[in-house]
Amino acid sequence: MSRSLTWLLAVAIGLTVANMYYLMPLLNQIRGDLGTSTFAASLLVTYSQFGYGLGLFFVLPLGDIFRRRVLIVVVVAGSAVAMAGQSLVHSYAPFALLCVLVGLGAVASHIMIPLGADLAKPEQRGRIMGRLMTGLLAGVVLSRTAAGAVTAAFGWQSIYTISAVLMTVLAAVLWRVVPNEPHRAHLPYRSLLARGSRLLVSSSLLRRRSWLGGAVFGGLTVMWTSLAFHLAAAPFHYSSGVIGLFGLVALGGLLAANVAGHQADQRRTRRSSIVAGIFMCTGFAIMLFWSGSVVAMCVGIIFIDVATQSMQISNQSIIFTIAADQRSSINSAYMLVFYLGGAIGSLATGYAYSHFGWHGSCFAGLLFGLAAVIPSVFLPSEALEH
């Protein structure tokens, strides 16, 4: 796992996962252009996460039996087709369907992460995971800023055209650069799909870490799904371009990812988990009590993004020690719960914001934060690390 390959995979992970997040700062504009309601527009996030869940369950485990170089390139090429489709449609139903396909293609990022874990030396795995997750976070964060800036200049569909081109180029580069693994052990597809479920049943560590991951990602989704509506309304009245700039505030999570990676290598993951849960609750509390302050919004974003990235690094550093030959299936099971938490978060904030406004969304986020911090504080270290 050379330094250049590490950073290439980090960039590829960021670009592929970004496809899911371009729409978040654009939801208010998409709602108007497609002629739909606030709740229906927020459901677009759920549709993409549903597609991601399908990919995590049906596609990601294939990395345990197929050469991941081929699998990654095929999925990235499929993403190029889906993004091109989103740049062309002008009505809600086909756009929603393409959101599902975009989410399905974004799973390429989590095919690459177990590959990095396999190639890394055990004593460096936490740091490698931190760098790969830096790429993931950068994709999530900068996608919102890029989408806002491109939309302000050329219209919201142009970001999907640009992404389609990027995915095409990326597929070609990955085909040339990713190591070609030897043939992997054959396993019937049905048994392969069941393996992730069996791991969740048999491993209490995987279940607990999956719960913590789903809780923090649910909170993160609550914030980003409702933030576009909040910033577009009084007292802010910001455009999509300005809303996208708020994604840059979350770059603090890049540092958190690398710090958490070092903490994982030093077996301090429980401490990181507790801090992450506290940070998430603090971020939503700040946004709740100072909902009309730009500074409070920025501080809250930093706290919540740092919480999510710290918990994610701690979780993945631990779960990849469970079974070295089943890392794709382990990641499939973990990420399925992780994004189920995100889907529940987008549904919760869609309802909460529609009925109770921004304060309702903040209360929903606080509940997700408590779901992360309470187990981290009260469960013994052995239950969260071994």
Cβ atoms of 205 and 319 within 8 Å: the answer is yes
Each residue's pLDDT, cut to its tens digit, for the chain (386 residues) gives 788 899 899 999 999 999 998 988 888 888 888 888 888 888 898 899 889 888 888 888 888 788 889 999 999 999 999 999 999 988 999 999 999 999 999 999 989 988 887 787 777 777 787 788 788 878 877 887 888 889 888 888 999 999 999 999 999 999 999 888 777 667 788 888 888 788 888 888 889 899 999 999 999 989 988 888 899 888 898 887 788 788 778 776 666 655 655 555 555 567 778 888 999 999 999 999 999 999 999 999 989 988 888 888 788 878 877 877 777 788 888 888 887 898 899 889 888 998 899 999 999 999 999 999 998 888 766 656 65
Q: For position 252, what pLDDT does the model report?
A: 64
Q: For position 254, what pLDDT does the model report?
A: 65
Q: For position 284, what pLDDT does the model report?
A: 96
Burial class (CB in 10 A: 0-12, 13-18, 19+), 262: middle
Q: For position 256, what pLDDT does the model report?
A: 60
Q: For position 174, what pLDDT does the model report?
A: 94
CA distance 356 to 4: 48
Q: For position 382, what pLDDT does the model report?
A: 62
pTM as predicted:
0.75
Q: For position 383, what pLDDT does the model report?
A: 57
Q: For position 46, what pLDDT does the model report?
A: 82
List domains and CATH numbers for the chain.
3-385 (1.20.1250.20)
Q: For position 333, what pLDDT does the model report?
A: 87
